[in-house]
Structure 1
Amino acid sequence: MNGSLVAPGARLIDAATGDVITGQALAAAVGAVAGTVAGIPAGAVLARTGLTVGAAVNYLGCWEAHRPVALLDPSLNPQTLAEMVRRFRPAAVTGLDEGSAGAHPGALPPGYDRRVLDMVGPAWVRRSDAPAPSRPSPDLGLMLATSGSTGDPKLVRLSRAAVVANAVAISEALHIDSSDVAPTSLPLFYSYGMSVLNSHLAAGATVVLVDGGVLSRGFWAAVDRYRATSLAGVPYHYEALARIRWSPAKHPSLRTLTQAGGRLRDETILAYHEKIQARGGRFYVMWGQTEAGPRMSILPADRLPEKVGSPGCALPGGRLSVLTGDGTETRRAGVEGEIVYRGPSVMMGYAETAADLSRGDDLNGVLATGDLGFLDEEGFVFLTGRLRRTGKIFGIRVNLDDIEKMVSRSAVNGARSVAVVPSESGVVVWCEGDLDAAGRGAITTLLAEQLQVHRSGLDCRAVEVMPLLSNGKIDYRALEAGS
């Protein structure tokens, strides 16, 4: 590919209106946004990105204009967005009208004017007399936040080449072609959702922009109306669908199911594998990280159930190995350590300020994932734990230390000490002290609101005495074992 993310024949469908944009019309819409973006001050764009055709075209237009763009949750806390504007000094913040009712960007930042840009819509645009950051690296294409709405999120810096390489590798691994139709079951600002959009458009396929999520009737009405061929989901989606006894047999056009964003229980994987296989379809387990653009491995559907429990082998162009405790790297079967991924989609590095956007490639294609595991004799990876203090709630990465701080700073009484650990379904918040059911419920409500996730991904529990290591620190491994 030549750096474009939209192959001839690719289509965007607006499920709300039925409008179809393809061919010359899609190219013209993307080109119009690119022309508008070229006329704003130099620098990156922060784009509030909802599940709309306008948001997708805005992203593609920034890409076409070679303008680095950060895809952000449109319901991002206004204070967090204001802090990101202060730190990154973007050329503009677009998508001010994106998001559901009540999602608003907050007050106009100092040094910016509110303007309505042709084909882009309402935006904050940096004034010409405002301090401007140094120009971003010409290789930089896309930025994604690392931690949702917790703390002050860092941005993952992905090069243009990395984004294209991952889109092509996914298209190849999943056999995506022009006959495929993918609904937006995931947010576009979430790396998995972004990769579904990219991999389908790059293959000349169709993406149906539909909001509401996989538990809404409107979503499945759109799946049937536009004969969607695939569904992408995180563990929460598949577990929730299993609880309502959903079956792909209800939607005859579906032929591919993919799962990433955390570990799905083996029995659930096998159940969906059997259901879709009975109809001649395929279930793919994948593994990835935003820092890898984002997907790194795939378990071929024909290796289930033989390899259940593994997210597969590296995507085409990638390579997995294990970093042992003594600092050596190996691909020997059965050796456990931190999994290392090498490939063209690895990020350039993180960004915490505008100055970081000017840096080149810090990692040179090598990512220490922070996941612990081992390879088997065929190179299939098996994950056994995490090296760093992060977790995922419905596929959205969260910083566990940030969550502990939120609870500690809250006005909920009775919790003397707080420890947060990951679980298969989200996170467990352990509270030491006299915390009754009402207190635990208050903490769950507080976190659900601040993290903007459903409360079912948060399990608040009481512990009489927090387990400690010999050095006096909290024994997180003991808490994980009890979760």
Structure 2
Amino acid sequence: MSHPHPDVPFATDLADHADRTALVTSGGALSYRELAARVAATARRLGTRRRLILLAGANTVDTVVLYLAALAAGHPVLLAPHDRPDAVRSLIDAYDPDVVGFPDGVLDERRDVSAHALHPDLALLLSTSGTTGSPKLVRLSHENLRANAASIAGYLGIHADDRAATTLPMHYCYGLSVINSHLLRGAALILTDLSVTDARFWELFREARGTTFAGVPYTFDLLDRVGFADMRLPHLRYVTQAGGRLAPDRVRRYAELGRRRGWDLVVMYGQTEATARMAYLPPELAASRPGTIGVPIPGGSFRLEPVPDRPGAGVGELVYSGPNVMLGYAESPSDLALGRTVGELRTGDLARLTPDGLYEVVGRRGRFVKLYGLRIDPRAVEESLARNGLTAYCAGDDEALVVAVTGGADAGRVRRLVADGCGLPGRAVRVHAVAEPPRLPSGKPDYRAIACLGRPEAVSGTDLVRLYAEMLDRSDVTEECSFVSLGGDSLSYVEMSLRLEETLGSLPADWHTRPIRDLRPVRDLRGPAERSRWRTLETGIALRAAAIVLIVGSHISLFTIRGGAHVLLAVAGFNFARFHLTAAGRRERRHHVLTALARIAVPSVAWIAAAGLLTADYHLGDALLLDSALGRNSNYWFVEVIVYILLAMAVWLSVPGLDRAERRAPYGFALGILALGVAARFDFLGLLDLPSALAAFWMFPLGWAAAKATNPGQRLLVTAIALATVPGYFGPGELTREILIIGGVALLVWVPALPSTAWLNRLAGLLAGASLYIYLAHWQIYPLLADRSQPLALLASLAGGAAYAAVATRALRYATPRQSLGPSPARPAELTPAPGTR
């Protein structure tokens, strides 16, 4: 039957762009005028009577010509993967197409008149991502294609001078959208099937003056491997990303790379059912809001549908409306006659709307897994394996598909069946032979537990690199880096160590100085219940958490257990030795100390200055942190002393001779500093008469020496010094305080970690990481509540300090350029650590 002229300008109006370049290949170029002529000739061959055309879609000129000709002539196109003969055969069997087109331009015209009733609006049939070869298809209209191409071209600002490389297959809706949107604007396509790992791809991209390319998360893995960050691509204007969630740290890293190199990163969100795209993140927000999907595309809108079984403030199923929403699904040829059967798209994703108007996906309502740009239905995988006589249970996440198979099946065979059936690489499928799958109390399979099978052993160096990059906000992390070489300090150490323990199982004492490549998961032989319950907590973190609670509680008079601040001084010295004196070069050491000084002084000055402006208890002069140096009493004496100490440490690190002396004898040098501190503490010569706050300095080198003590004799000496110097310092009647301080130092010296639980680790990590901020804030918070409830005043002080920690940490992160965080991890040979440095 004849049909009206379809409204698909990127196929019908090619000649309007005249002699502009349309297609570029390794063999030459084709102008729009030439492309239009070839499309018109092929359209005439296809005729005016509508037929269903199955096209094995490859990134070749002949395939593009046939695709455009079919659309221009009004023939519905079913796109199939050219490299999956089994999928092509499955679709031919299921839909009995009238014409089959191949990548080399060959047409198999099976009949002159269609065997099917074809709805007038039907333009394109695509497999839902990841079910390629499945009879379930997405039905798209001419209006769907036109509207989505126009929307994408609009928000990306595609213009006629752009040249886009086809880094994705055209049978995949994302790859096809690149073709449609660029042809709509008269831009050129660099037509290739080459991988981004192939040097010939980049030669073609440069020669063709490529301005853009698209990638799924796996594409960015490949870009990391081929050294994309160092490539010279003078015409690159922007890079787009979709096809699954890219980790926020990688979004931020690539956005920052683009900012330095002069191109934009555009993160997008879509589904085949929406033709291609539903949302995009404006490139100027990629670095600051990398965890969101952004805003709806022009012409589209979202709403959040409440989900009864997934409560949460502002969280609901993301529902999309727009002219690009599919007509509906097809599961058999009879469905090709249907018109619109859906009015909006329920994405299956759980999302929320952030205060700044961006949408953020927080989970999935169903069990679908999205990998390598493919959406996998685990239930379909189970059914497929059942047809092969295998009993299996399938789950997964955005990193891997996990299959638990029973009955002693061969894991290699199962992996091949799943990988081939889903179109995944074998490394994306993890198979575990089990006697019985993990089950819920109801007896149903526990798919969450199945997804976690083997996870500790599966941790890779790449996973850890991403974790370090996220936690330290660095874009230059490699497996050769260590926590110390990346500028990690005591403020970031707490969360980093807890996250690593969750990932690896347990940590060696020197993990902070080890290269990432040397950190490996530890096999845990305990049962699941015991393993989930018990953890270890590093002593320094435990002491920081306990000390800040004791300090605040004692100030509130909820209890009176003093000495926490002096324990914190010892812990500060311990961490100074671990983090700042293990850096390679003298300048790097000094830089680490000055960075730590800024991270303490800046939020302290900001808070005290604000307190001076808003209350009558402080004046702006207090914000200068000079009260202790001038012999005046100060609520903030602890902060002031830490600032003075770090300034002094930066000074001695500026003296090459002292730096060399510390490297030659780390423990002896620490004892020398401790001797100076003890002399000041006792004022042996009666000349110093130091303010009490400054006299407490000796606690800092005491912790320093504890960190550098490497054998029992050295540890005994440090413990003896604590026993000899702490008693009597606070005057009579302070036995409890003295015992607390000596006990804290002894724990630092002798006990690297304490038994703990998972929840206690999280609580201790929060308190320890925020200890500085809690100390700052509690002076203003607890007086507001102490008269009504001292326990409530304690909780409010801890919570308020933690909140200030979150705000201040984020502000410092955004205010500090990444490149200023320290030197590159790759260092010259002369900067390697000296013998004896831990």
**Equivalent position to 1:225, from 207, 221, 236:** 207
Q: CA deviation at 1:371?
A: 1.2
- Contact map agreement 2:56 2:82 (CA 8 A) in 1: yes
**Equivalent position to 1:448, from 412, 419, 424:** 419
1:23 matched to 2:8? The reply is no
- Could you tell me which residue of structure 2 aligns to residue 35 of structure 1? 44
Q: How many residues align?
A: 444
- Contact map agreement 1:47 1:70 (CA 8 A) in 2: yes
- Could you tell me which residue of structure 2 aligns to residue 89 of structure 1? 96
- Could you tell me which residue of structure 2 aligns to residue 212 of structure 1? 194
**Equivalent position to 1:44, from 44, 52, 74:** 52
- Contact map agreement 1:30 1:57 (CA 8 A) in 2: yes
Gaps of 5+ in 1: 99-119, 328-332
- Could you tell me which residue of structure 1 aligns to residue 785 of structure 2? none
Q: CA deviation at 1:481?
A: 5.5
Give matches, 1:285-300, under 5 Å: 285-300=267-282
- Contact map agreement 2:351 2:361 (CA 8 A) in 1: yes
Q: Equivalent residue of 1:284, what SS?
A: strand
Q: 2-side partners of 1:445 and 1:239: how far apart?
A: 23
Q: Equivalent residue of 2:351, what SS?
A: strand
Give matches, 1:251-400, under 5 Å: 251-326=233-308, 334-364=313-343, 366-400=344-378
- Contact map agreement 1:427 1:459 (CA 8 A) in 2: yes
**Equivalent position to 1:405, from 364, 383, 392:** 383
Q: CA deviation at 1:212?
A: 2.0
Q: Equivalent residue of 2:261, what SS?
A: coil
Q: 2-side partners of 1:193 and 1:44: how far apart?
A: 22
1:402-442 deviations in Å (ceiling 9; x for gaps): 2223334447xxx7x5222232224222335656xxx4333
**Equivalent position to 1:469, from 430, 440, 443:** 440
- Could you tell me which residue of structure 2 aligns to residue 460 of structure 1? 431
User: Cα distance 1:207–1:49, how it changes in 2: closer, same or farther (>3 A)?
Assistant: same
1:126 matched to 2:111? The reply is yes
- Contact map agreement 2:80 2:132 (CA 8 A) in 1: no
- Contact map agreement 2:77 2:123 (CA 8 A) in 1: yes
1:52-107 deviations in Å (ceiling 9; x for gaps): 011011100001001111111113344x4344334323221111x55xxxxxxxxx
Letter in 2 for 1:4: P
User: Cα distance 1:150–1:160, how it changes in 2: closer, same or farther (>3 A)?
Assistant: closer
RMSD of equivalent CA atoms: 2.6
Q: CA deviation at 1:248?
A: 6.2
Q: 1-side partners of 2:301 and 2:39: how far apart?
A: 34
- Could you tell me which residue of structure 2 aligns to residue 425 of structure 1? 399
Q: CA deviation at 1:217?
A: 1.7
Letter in 1 for 2:354: D
Letter in 1 for 2:116: P
Letter in 1 for 2:256: E
- Contact map agreement 2:81 2:88 (CA 8 A) in 1: no
Letter in 1 for 2:110: V
1:143 matched to 2:125? The reply is yes
Length-normalised TM-score, structure 1: 0.85
Q: 1-side partners of 2:146 and 2:228: how far apart?
A: 34
Q: Equivalent residue of 2:82, what SS?
A: coil
Q: Equivalent residue of 2:346, what SS?
A: strand
Task: Determine what percentage of the aligned residue pairs are the same residue.
Answer: 34
Q: CA deviation at 1:392?
A: 2.5
1:428-473 deviations in Å (ceiling 9; x for gaps): 22335656xxx43332233333333322222223556422234322
Gaps of 5+ in 2: 1-5, 456-838
Q: 2-side partners of 1:187 and 1:82: how far apart?
A: 18
User: Cα distance 1:431–1:384, how it changes in 2: closer, same or farther (>3 A)?
Assistant: farther
1:131-175 deviations in Å (ceiling 9; x for gaps): 8222x1111111111254666331101110111111111111111
- Could you tell me which residue of structure 2 aligns to residue 3 of structure 1? 8
Q: 2-side partners of 1:239 and 1:463: how far apart?
A: 31
Q: Equivalent residue of 1:5, what SS?
A: helix
Structure of greater Rg: 2
Q: 1-side partners of 2:393 and 2:357: how far apart?
A: 35
- Contact map agreement 1:76 1:149 (CA 8 A) in 2: no
Q: 1-side partners of 2:415 and 2:180: how far apart?
A: 35
Letter in 1 for 2:215: G
Q: Equivalent residue of 1:345, what SS?
A: coil
User: Cα distance 1:347–1:150, how it changes in 2: closer, same or farther (>3 A)?
Assistant: closer
Q: CA deviation at 1:228?
A: 0.7
Letter in 2 for 1:429: V
Q: CA deviation at 1:480?
A: 3.7
Q: CA deviation at 1:259?
A: 0.6
1:166-189 deviations in Å (ceiling 9; x for gaps): 111111111111111111100000
- Could you tell me which residue of structure 1 aligns to residue 466 of structure 2? none
1:235-254 deviations in Å (ceiling 9; x for gaps): 01102221343226432221
- Contact map agreement 2:91 2:133 (CA 8 A) in 1: no
Q: Which runs of 4+ in 1 moved over 4 A?
A: 147-151, 432-435, 462-465
- Contact map agreement 1:258 1:286 (CA 8 A) in 2: yes
User: Cα distance 1:150–1:69, how it changes in 2: closer, same or farther (>3 A)?
Assistant: closer
Q: 2-side partners of 1:123 and 1:249: how far apart?
A: 44
Q: Equivalent residue of 1:285, what SS?
A: strand
Q: 2-side partners of 1:401 and 1:434: how far apart?
A: 21
1:340-387 deviations in Å (ceiling 9; x for gaps): 0111100000111222111111112x1001112212123312112222
Letter in 1 for 2:198: S
Q: 2-side partners of 1:4 and 1:34: how far apart?
A: 15
User: Cα distance 1:11–1:137, how it changes in 2: closer, same or farther (>3 A)?
Assistant: farther
Q: 2-side partners of 1:163 and 1:361: how far apart?
A: 15
Q: 2-side partners of 1:156 and 1:428: how far apart?
A: 27
Letter in 1 for 2:191: L
Higher relative contact order (CA 8 A, sep 6+): 1
User: Cα distance 1:149–1:124, how it changes in 2: closer, same or farther (>3 A)?
Assistant: farther
1:159 matched to 2:141? The reply is yes
Q: 1-side partners of 2:388 and 2:90: how far apart?
A: 21
Q: 1-side partners of 2:214 and 2:230: how far apart?
A: 13
**Equivalent position to 2:82, from 74, 99, 107:** 74
Q: Equivalent residue of 1:165, what SS?
A: helix
Length-normalised TM-score, structure 2: 0.50
User: Cα distance 1:44–1:379, how it changes in 2: closer, same or farther (>3 A)?
Assistant: farther
